[in-house]
Amino acid sequence: MAPKTQKRAAAKFYQEDIVQRKDDSNTFGVILRCWQDAEETPPAGDHIDPLMRPLVQGEVGVSYFPKPMREIVPEDTLELVDRLYQPGDLLKRSVDDVRSGVVTRTHVKGRLEHAVSSFSLPGWKSMEEIESAVEIDMGEYVIYNDWVGQVVEMFDESLVEVPGGTLVRLPELSARLAVGEKGQDILPQPVGSVTGILGFLLGGTRPSDRDTVISVKHTVLAVAWLAINQSLSPEEAQGKPRPQRYWYGEDLGKLTTITRKAEEAMRVGDRVKLKNTRDGPVTRHGRPLEGVIEVDTLVVQETRTSVDVLWQDGTRETMDVKQTVPYLNPDEYDCWPGDHVLWKTEDHKRHVVVQSVNAQDRTAYVRVVETGAVELASVLELDPHGSGDWSPLAPANDGLGVRRGDFVFIHREGTTNGARAPMVPRIGEVEEWVREAPTLGPNGQIGGWRSEMTELGSRIAEQRGKEGSVDEVPLKQAQKGDTSLNWFGEVLDLRLDGTIEVILPSADTIVVPLERLTRLYDSVEQLEDLWGDDEGTVEDEDDVEVWEMDQDGHWVEGTMDGDDDEWESADEELDPADSMDVEGGEWSPSTDTVTIPPPINGETPMAVDSALPPETQSSAATQSPSPHPPKEAGDVEDGPWKRFEVLPSAPVDHAFYNTPPAQHTRQFMARMSKEYKALQSSLPDSILVRAYEDRTDLLRSLIIGPENTPYEDAPFVIDWMLDANFPQTPPIAHFLSWTNGNGRVNPNLYEEGKVCLSILGTWAGDKSESWSASRSSLLQALVSIQGLVLVKEPWFCEPAYEKLRGTEDGIVNSRLYNEKAYVLSRGFVRRALEIPLGGLEEELRWFYHTSGKLRKVLGDARALIVKSTATQGDAEVPEADRERAVPRLSSGGIIALERTLGKLQALQDAQTATEANAADGAKAKAER
């Protein structure tokens, strides 16, 4: 269904893949970076870390073991050994397969060797034969007195064997070392604070490549307490205050560890022990008089993994992971059997449970919770997230239902979580101290609460072996059969009847309704959400090279020679009436205007008219042309299709109508006069703008979707507000989204109204793309939206996806997105005609009814349905249709589209009847 172009080779490796060098079978590695990753591109230049340079396609960043080394290498130099999944992960058989599956269970076996001696154990060991050699790790959960907490920092004491057999004690903050690690970077320099088992060394020890870690003990834990047992009554909960922050000594024995099932699986590099220790190798370290340490810790050297997969069609299969690829860019409508979703149509919104999905047809059988009936639905009408502004790059954490691997609180039988199903609330309060980023003082000393923890851990280390020293007590583990913690558990599976399987700390499995569960919102999630909110606002207004308007109202290439261009003429005299009186003058559309907006998110600029600077002609030629309203539009001098007009008053349905009007200065009015003149002379035929005499700070724009895009002939309305600082700050835009909660119509146009665009300061593009008071304009912003947002392949507007253009992954996802955008934007036509839009009612009526555009929308959509129905199952799209933005529709797309076409046809029939009645009336009057 995509155009036949030269496809790029599919990626061979993904993050966390275990690989082996083809030229050295003893050298293994883990993939840390891939070309296709959705990541910020590292800046060019010299880097201490060899992995931190931009990748080209076909390269990966890998970290090797047992010899520690990091480098960027071609994929062809490596061979895949194993691929890591955990329950809840998504996968496919290949990147171009539309069907995906969800991992329900992993089966891992590994080859082990002794961490210190490197003695290799024969054969492969299963997960049932080993246990973790690490008592607790960063990010793991603990329970105390009905509270669930998460370890956010640790202070360690490591024993290091140096040449000669001496053991030294190394106390330090954070989990840096593991048993068996060797090298000169183990001991710090200087080592004056390093102590031996029986006391301080006197400075004779220096780092050596033979230094070996033989023991690591976590002596102090910092725990972020997140939430309390939800089965307690309010009175009981009040009697259990939030526990302490730091845990050490005997208090450690009061904590119970809770480990996620996925973390119990072997991973290369894990430190483990055999459950049957009689068969394992042991090394001994130290001197008899000082104390001997026995080490039975093993390292996982190689793994083989298979996974149980639940496919979208409901079938289950156990597969070798090397026969699969991770599904990194899920479609927003993707769902799997057992998922709780909302089924949204124009007439109803219902809670349903997915039974099976036909990914090729984009249809799903769903069970309606209220009635128990199983019905066929289009996946385009299903909302699996409970958020129309979901994005695969930043998926909403709040959502519908639960997922395999989620930690959940279980409410008492007969009670609920208080939310309306299928919404499931999440709880977990990260205290302010946890949000504090690490800081260093002028002497390199760590600051904040980590400083307190370091002092505490250091005092414990100094007293080790002396009178009054602190001895650690092992953390408790949840015991099989102990039901005291059974108010908390992990989601194992989702049943087709809507119930949820949960495994409890007692190892028992229970089945509960969704309404009795609340999800745990952990520290990692919250901090990622907190630190990920910075996208988008451009604060630096430095002068940059952009396009500017000359004295004739034409856009030309700007220069860096000062700020005294036309837009900055703030001191000239201005008659306020002149700036508003644009309707009375006679004008005709400019035929030689060049409007070149700056690029956003990697898109190539598009020409609105034919005249282009030479350097942009070749790239602009690949873009779709602007749409053309009926030819008579530009010739109707007094008709409704006036591209720019000033109306007496702002409509009450304007998004910013209730905002207090800004106090505008002479400079503001002078600037607005120039903005109005530019809009009057240079707007393309397919963009209308309305300004208002009573609210100079407000505007409303109508943009008609360009030809051969998913948005063709659809109306896009954006309301604008200019605050008191305009033009020093960019205009504020609000998109009127009419998607009925079924998702974004475009990656840059959010359902809540945000318009994500560099020139508006809502996306952090480079400086040449941002708003400049002296060189940017409202016209530029409007044409940017039409030319760079409403494009033929909008999926690639996501910055991280532009580099996937031409790949199998990109082709499949772009096709699915185009279908969704096309169907949703047909609904925009209906909304614009059914609910009058202040200031644009006559224009929309004229465009869709009088000029016949609604008939065209209906005809084009029905022709597409006929083509799609006739060719369903065909692997190839005919040559003539390959360049179409939407060459075919899936069965699910047809179902959703036909609902909208039924409403549009009713509007067309009503208009036809009105016109017929008017004609009959006129005829009768003439006959009289």
Active site residue 335: no
Q: What angle do CA 100, 102, 105 make, to 5 degrees?
A: 145
Provide the domain count of the chain.
Answer: 2
Q: Is residue 790 part of a domain?
A: yes
Alpha carbon distance 367, 379 (integer Å): 14
Closest CA to 281 of 117, 66, 159, 161: 117
Closest CA to 727 of 769, 760, 767: 760
Render pLDDT for 68-117 as a digit per residue (tens, 0 to 9). 789 999 999 999 999 999 999 999 999 889 999 999 999 999 999 999 99
Q: Is residue 656 part of a domain?
A: yes
Instruction: Write out the residue range of the structural domain in which residue 66 sits.
Output: 17-83
- Where b means 16+ CB within 10 Å and e means fewer, 235-264 reads eeeeeeeebebbbbeebbeebbbbbbbbee
Residue with tokens 């060019």: 44
- For 688, phi and psi rounded to 5 degrees? -110, 145
Alpha carbon distance 431, 227 (integer Å): 11
Closest CA to 177 of 128, 218, 123, 121: 218
HSE, side-chain direction, 13 A CA sphere, residue 142:
29
Residue 93 makes CB contacts below 8 A (sequence gap 6+) with 99, 323, 324, 325
CATH number of residue 763's parent domain: 3.10.110.10
- Where b means 16+ CB within 10 Å and e means fewer, 135-160 reads ebeeebbbbbebbbbbbbbbbbbbbb
User: Would the pTM count as exceeding 0.85?
Assistant: no
Closest CA to 732 of 746, 718, 751: 718
Cα–Cα separations (whole angstroms), residue 867 to 195, 860, 888: 79, 11, 7
Q: Write down the mean pLDDT value for the chain.
A: 83
Q: Is residue 467 part of a domain?
A: no
Q: Is residue 545 part of a domain?
A: no
pLDDT value of position 704: 97
Alpha carbon distance 869, 892 (integer Å): 11
Alpha carbon distance 859, 853 (integer Å): 10
Cα–Cα separations (whole angstroms), residue 532 to 150, 153, 395, 433, 754: 21, 21, 12, 19, 17
Closest CA to 504 of 492, 519, 491, 489: 489
Q: Is residue 602 part of a domain?
A: no
pLDDT value of position 537: 42
Alpha carbon distance 115, 461 (integer Å): 25
Q: Which of 31, 49, 83 is the last residue of a domain?
A: 83
Render pLDDT for 262-310 as a digit per residue (tens, 0 to 9). 888 899 999 999 998 777 899 999 888 778 899 999 999 999 999 999 9
Q: Is residue 738 part of a domain?
A: yes
H or E stretch covering 529? helix 523-531
Q: Which of 83, 114, 141 is the last residue of a domain?
A: 83
Closest CA to 247 of 39, 409, 457, 101: 457
Alpha carbon distance 828, 147 (integer Å): 49
More confident residue, 633 or 734: 734
Q: Which of 83, 100, 116 is the last residue of a domain?
A: 83
Render pLDDT for 868-915 as a digit per residue (tens, 0 to 9). 998 776 656 777 777 899 999 999 999 999 999 999 999 999 999 888
Q: Is residue 858 part of a domain?
A: yes
Spatial contact of 50 and 62, defined as CB atoms under 8 Å apart: no
Alpha carbon distance 705, 621 (integer Å): 18
Alpha carbon distance 524, 458 (integer Å): 27
pLDDT value of position 254: 96
Render pLDDT for 649-659 as a digit per residue (tens, 0 to 9). 999 999 999 99
Q: How many CB atoms sit inside 10 A of residue 804's CB?
A: 25
Give the model's confidence band at 248: pLDDT under 50 very low, under 70 low, under 90 confident, else very high.
very high
Kindly state the average pLDDT of the residues 195-202: 40
Residue with tokens 């973790």: 132
Render pLDDT for 787-846 as a digit per residue (tens, 0 to 9). 999 999 999 988 778 888 888 888 888 999 999 999 999 999 999 999 989 999 999 999
Q: Is residue 554 part of a domain?
A: no
Residue with tokens 């309306």: 420
Most confident option among 100-109, 538-547, 754-763? 100-109
Tokens describing residue 129: 């034969």
